[in-house]
Amino acid sequence: MLYRIEWTIKRQGQVRPYADSVYEYEIESDLKEAKVRKFCTEILKPSENIGSGFTGACSFPFGLNSYYSFWKTGDNSYNYKVCCPYTG
């Protein structure tokens, strides 16, 4: 049996000089939610830290590491967002 996973890039990179880099994806898949999350965090845009209260910006206390948020938006659709702190 074949499974499907498709993604659309909504946003990637810095919005202005000296800003954090934000990557946001819309995911469509018939896989279970845990497998989609694993694909996102290990392959699509690796990130180990889930941000509790993460808003998409790497402000304190998120400023030293990359953080992500992952949520379900529909039956087979998800949103995945990663914030990488400004590095120069």
CB within 8 A of 52, min separation 6: which ones? none
Polymer length in residues for the chain: 88
pLDDT at residue 27 in the model: 98
**C-alpha triplet 35, 39, 42: angle, nearest 5°:** 125
The answer, yes or no, to whether residue 63 has pLDDT greater than 60, is no
Band of pLDDT at residue 55, cut at 50, 70 and 90: low
Average pLDDT over residues 55-63: 57
